[in-house]
Amino acid sequence: GNSVTQMEGPVTLSEEAFLTINCTYTATGYPSLFWYVQYPGEGLQLLLKATKADDKGSNKGFEATYRKETTSFHLEKGSVQVSDSAVYFCALSTNAGGTSYGKLTFGQGTILTVHP
Amino acid sequence: DAGVIQSPRHEVTEMGQEVTLRCKPISGHNSLFWYRQTMMRGLELLIYFNNNVPIDDSGMPEDRFSAKMPNASFSTLKIQPSEPRDSAVYFCASRWTSGNSETQYFGPGTRLLVL
């Protein structure tokens, strides 16, 4: 079956530090990959996505590249801000067609705290 | 667009009581998902509807849980009777199923505490 593994957290950084959150996956077929972010007290928001190998998703300074050879989708940001403090979820979805209906499989989430 | 709307945002109830959570998906979306989030188990998919029809309810924990979608703009998740272990944040998400569109849009969640 499908599974997503994220690096253990929590992650604590100083403002302007470099961020990497590791994500690896196991999937049948050719999944699409996502990063969702959850701010305190809110629901999940899509941060970025990539739908095929070597695609790079980017948004708000965050980037992640779909690496099929290493089955990874690591999240990076060159300079984090206090406002980036949140929980980050890596997820995959198999093709929207057929019986899989694009079901999202989530990792366990990584808590990021950024200090001034 | 108002996004996915959930109510109530917070619910505190006593064990044995019936709890009903409500969701209004984004207008035009034809798929709806109910999730449960806990510290121990993370995010779990409970049930998925497509065009108001339940397609996959394999994540529904037990018969105490039921979900309905009487029309394209409304869904409920009911727990009867509720138990303390049902305490969690319940999210509703919706999506337009078309081509390669797989992005799900989440509501703010309902925080349920069963005493």
Mapping DSSP onto H, E and C, the string for B39-64 reads: CCCEEEEEEEEECCEEEECCCCCCCC
pLDDT tens digits for range B55-87: 889 899 889 999 999 999 999 999 999 999 999
d(CA A21, CA A13): 12
Interface A-B, measured as beta-carbon pairs within 8 A, has a size of: 56
For position A95, what pLDDT does the model report? 62
Question: Among B42, B55, B104, whose Cβ lies nearest the Cβ of A109?
Answer: B42
B10: Cβ contacts below 8 Å, ≥ 6 apart: B110, B111, B113
Q: Which of A32, A43, A103 sits opposite B108 (nearest CB)?
A: A43
The answer to whether the CB atoms of A89 and B43 lie below 8 A apart is yes
| Burial class of residue B97, CB neighbours in 10 A (0-12, 13-18, 19+) | middle
Q: Which of chain A's residues have a Cβ under 8 Å away from the Cβ of B104?
A: 46, 104
More confident residue, A96 or B51: B51
Instruction: State the average pLDDT for chain A.
Output: 91
d(CA A94, CA A33): 9
Q: Which chain A residues are closer than 8 Å to B101 by Cβ? A: 96
pLDDT in the model for residue A28: 80
Q: What is the pLDDT of residues A29-52, one digit of tens each?
A: 788 999 999 998 889 999 999 988
A32 and B100 within 8 Å at the Cβ level: the answer is: yes
Q: Which of A34, A45, A103 sits opposite B45 (nearest CB)?
A: A103
Helix (H, G, I), strand (E, B) or coil at A83: helix
Q: Which residue is associated with the tokens 């739908």?
A: A51
The SS3 of residue A81 is: coil
What angle (nearest 5°) sits at the alpha carbon of residue B23, between those of residues B53 and B57?
40
